[in-house]
Structures are given as structure tokens and as C-alpha cells.
Amino acid sequence: MPPAVSAQLDLVGLTRALVDIDSTTGSEAPAGRWLADYLRAQSFTVIEQPVDDGRFNVLASVAPNPVVVFSTHFDCVPPFFPSRVEGGRIYGRGSCDAKGILAAQIAAADVLRRSGETRVGMLFVVGEERGSDGAKASAPLAAGCRYLVNGEPTDLRLGLATRGLYRVKLKASGRAAHSAFPELGESAIDKLLDALVMLRTIALPSDPVLGTTHYTVGLIAGGVAPNVVSPTAEAELLFRTVTEADAVQDALAPLAPLVGFEHVFDMPPVTMITVPDMNTAVFPYGTDIPFLGAWGSPLLYGPGSIHVAHTSDEYLDIEVVRFGPQLRVDKQISADALDVIVPSMLLQPLVENSIKHGLSRKVGGGRITIRAARRDHRVVIEVVDDGLGMTDERLQEAFQGGIGLSNVNERLRTIYGAGSGLKLTSAPGRGTSVSIEIPELAVAERATA
């Protein structure tokens, strides 16, 4: 059962819970039930929209008829493998595409709701990986929506446009004959190969933003036996289109004397709206957006890289899904401190502590400032965050419960004597400052630091 409502959403726990439910396309029902129950437990209003065979889309909202809707899919490609956390990453099928994104969208909606915003909703659909049947079915739920933020792995860049898809089978027909007398037959495989070679010489449609249409020959089959002239052959091609599919069909017309055409699937390219001062990019892959037109003007955005989606090592960086571009690091290093040698394992734990304990529970991100300066032949290093901060009582316990801080404190005392150590100040709601002051190391000392 999903956990009860809490003051802060556990993004890592939520992502792993979703990843650990096998939702390979066609088998999304268990994940859908878990997700719907979870959102109800978080006090969202939930609608389960049937699609087929027990599969359903999930619409969650704060109030009826949301104006802005976050959307992504919860189906995944095969094979399923469960989650694990390793090296600051969540591994598992769907961690990147797109269950980590889904968890981040829930957190974003929750932040808006807690600020008093009621016009936000979430649409989580089935079937994106195989034909977008969930997206196609969702239109009746879209009353009043003006903007759709569709989540896919874009490396936190807004999508300017995405290419479309056109899948087609090229089918060649021949006449079977004994291979000892090939002149009595007509080879369908030869015709198909000639068509594929001719295709390489054909100019395909192009677009100034999306570039030139390209394709892959994904499947090929033909013949009945090695000693028989092949009576049939076919190849299935997938074009990444920059125009409507009919422009590609027109370009393929010179192949008609050799092969016939069987339409499999097509999806048009899409242009999205963008936001000033945000990084943008054009993406060559398809999304549900062409079938979500009823939901208003689309934006495409999400953490993670498409290069790891669908792979055997699919992952999502934890800090990326927590903070996105909202984790800001300012470095205020004075010029005379740039050549200072700091003993190993002093600075890194302080920064990690600020992220883990100061900012990780602060959904919405924050800022870390690293300062360093020389003063009277000593070096002062300070790490400041604007996170949740600590009470005086918690401040007194910090060195007892925090392995990172206690290790740094002990290392300082070991290197520089009992009088050295960390200085820690904090205020609830305002953040924490950790500073160290160390003597400048002589040349001989630097070699052993």
C-alpha cells in the first residue's frame, strides 16, 4: 500500500516504489492502481480513465478543470529490472523514462498546492512506448486545460520541437523456382535489395529547425529456403520525420515498380512553446504530445538523458531529480586562495552534508555558497546553504549523528591539533554555515597533505 500523506514527498522512495512495479507496456494495471492509491493518500482528487484490458490513465487534480497539467507515461519498455541506489543514482527500468520524471511532477504539483495554487493537475498515461493509446484516449478529460507540461528525458532543456515517426513496410513479390534454374523465377529479395539501394539516393524532406528526415531499416525477412528463388520479401522501415508523413510517401514513389507499401504507423512532428532564459533543444524522438492536443499548448521538459533510457543500465541522477536547475552553487574564492592546498576529505563532505541535510528535504532547490580567503597566514573556508536549518538542540547533536561532519572534525584535530575543528551555525528556515580555519601549509608540508 502507498504511504500516507506527509509534510514532504520522498522523491527517491517514490521513484523506487514505481520502478519496482513492472509496468511493461500492456501490463500497466498494477502500477496504475498503486499510483492512483498513492495520489489519493496525498489528498489529490483522482480519476481512473479506462483505456483497455484493465489498463487506465490516471488524472489527479487539486480542483476540477486544472489549467496547467503535468503529464508523462508510466509504461516502460522491456525487460523489467528493479531499482537500486548506487553512486548517487537510481537504477532500474523506467527510472529515467519516465518514473523519476513522474515522481518529480508529483512533487512539483505538491509544492504548488502547498503555496495555495489550485489550478494544477497531473495526467499519467499508459501505452506511450507502443502507439500512445493512453494519450489518444485522454482528450475527454481535458476540459479547460490551457498548458500541458509533458515529461520526457530532455536533460532539463525545454523542447523546441520533436521529430515525427513514419513506419512502413516495403513488400516485394516474386515467383518461386528451383535455384538451379533462377531464370525460371523472379527473386523478391533482389527486388527488395534494389529498392533499399535506390532509397539511399532519394532526397528526403528537410526542415530548417528539425533538419533532414532520416531512417533505419529495422526488420527484414524473405524467402522460403536457400535453394528456392524467393517468392516474397519485406523490410520494415522507421523514418524520423520533419514533415507530415505524406511528404515521405511522395519521396518513396520511385520505389513503386519494385515494392509495395504497407502503412504501419505515423506521428507528426511537433513544435512546442518555450520560456525565456531557459535552455532549449530539438529532440529527434517521438512523444505523446501529438495526441495530447486537447490539453492546450505543450511544453516538453524533464530530468535525465535519452541516451540512457531503454538501456540495461538505465538510471537517473538523484540530485538532478530533486533539484533540477534549482541547485545553485556559488564559489566566492579570493584570488590569493586559489593556490592553497587543502588536505583531502575536508571540503567534499561539507558540501555533501549541505545537500543531504540542508537542501534534500527542501523540495524546490536552493543555493550553496563556497567561500575561501587568506587571513593572517591562515585559510578560512566556509560552506553555506539556504536550506531548512537546525534548531539549537539539533545543532548540539550534529557532530554525534552526522558521520561526515564528525569525520571532518576528527581529521582537523588529527592534522592541526586539539584546538582545531569545525564551526557550525544554523537557524531554522534560514540555513546552515560550516567553516574551518587552517594554517597555510609550507611546501614540505603540502607534499604530505
Average pLDDT score over residue span 14-22 = 97
Average pLDDT score over residue span 401-428 = 80
Q: Where are the beta strands (DSSP E) in 65-146?
A: 68-73, 84-86, 89-91, 120-125
Element (H, E) at 199: helix 188-199
By residue count, the chain amounts to 449
Q: Which tops the pLDDT comparison, 108 or 355?
A: 108
Q: Which tops the pLDDT comparison, 87 or 303?
A: 303
Average pLDDT score over residue span 336-344 = 79
Q: What confidence score (pLDDT) does residue 346 get? A: 78
Q: What confidence score (pLDDT) does residue 2 get? A: 44
Confidence of residue 342 (pLDDT cuts 50, 70, 90): confident
Average pLDDT score over residue span 282-309 = 95
Question: Per-residue pLDDT for 299 more than 90?
Answer: yes
Q: Which structural domains are found in the chain, ordered by start?
A: 11-161+269-325 (3.40.630.10), 164-267 (3.30.70.360), 334-446 (3.30.565.10)
Q: What confidence score (pLDDT) does residue 98 get? A: 96
pLDDT in tens, 232-258: 999 999 999 999 999 999 999 999 999
Average pLDDT score over residue span 377-391 = 85
Would you put residue 11 in left (φ > 0), alpha (ψ -120 to 50) or beta?
alpha
The number of angstroms, rounded, from the C-alpha of 181 to the middle of its chain's C-alpha atoms is: 57
Among 62, 56, 77, 63, CA closest to 124: 56
Question: Per-residue pLDDT for 306 more than 70?
Answer: yes
Highest mean pLDDT among 9-18, 93-102, 331-340: 93-102
Provide Rg for the chain, Cα atoms: 29
Answer yes or no: pTM beyond 0.85.
no
Q: Which tops the pLDDT comparison, 366 or 18?
A: 18
Question: Per-residue pLDDT for 443 more than 50?
Answer: no
Confidence of residue 100 (pLDDT cuts 50, 70, 90): very high
Q: What confidence score (pLDDT) does residue 135 get? A: 97
Q: What confidence score (pLDDT) does residue 416 get? A: 84
Q: What confidence score (pLDDT) does residue 387 get? A: 81
Q: What confidence score (pLDDT) does residue 279 get? A: 87
Average pLDDT score over residue span 66-79 = 98
Q: What confidence score (pLDDT) does residue 53 get? A: 87
**Range in 113-117, 205-209, 389-393 with the lowest mean pLDDT:** 389-393
The cell numbers describing 384, all together, are 553555506
Note if 128 is an active site residue.
yes
Q: What confidence score (pLDDT) does residue 1 get? A: 46
Average pLDDT score over residue span 427-439 = 86
Q: What confidence score (pLDDT) does residue 39 get? A: 98
If one counts every other C-beta atom within 10 angstroms of the C-beta of residue 55, the result is 23
Q: Is residue 437 classed as helix, strand or coil in its secondary structure? A: strand
CA distance 410 to 380: 18
Question: Per-residue pLDDT for 446 more than 60?
Answer: no
Q: What confidence score (pLDDT) does residue 404 get? A: 72
Q: What confidence score (pLDDT) does residue 33 get? A: 98
Inter-residue contact 156 to 222 (CB < 8 Å): no
Q: What confidence score (pLDDT) does residue 429 get? A: 80
The cell numbers describing 311, all together, are 538501456
Q: What confidence score (pLDDT) does residue 331 get? A: 82
Q: What confidence score (pLDDT) does residue 32 get? A: 98
Question: Per-residue pLDDT for 50 more than 50?
Answer: yes
Q: What confidence score (pLDDT) does residue 448 get? A: 46
The cell numbers describing 293, all together, are 492536443
Average pLDDT score over residue span 127-150 = 95
Q: Spell out a b/e string for 15-48, using b for 16 or more CB atoms within 10 Å of the CB, else e.
A: bbbbbbbbbbbbbbbebbbbbbebbeebebebee
Q: Active site residue: 86, 117, 128, 236, which one?
A: 128
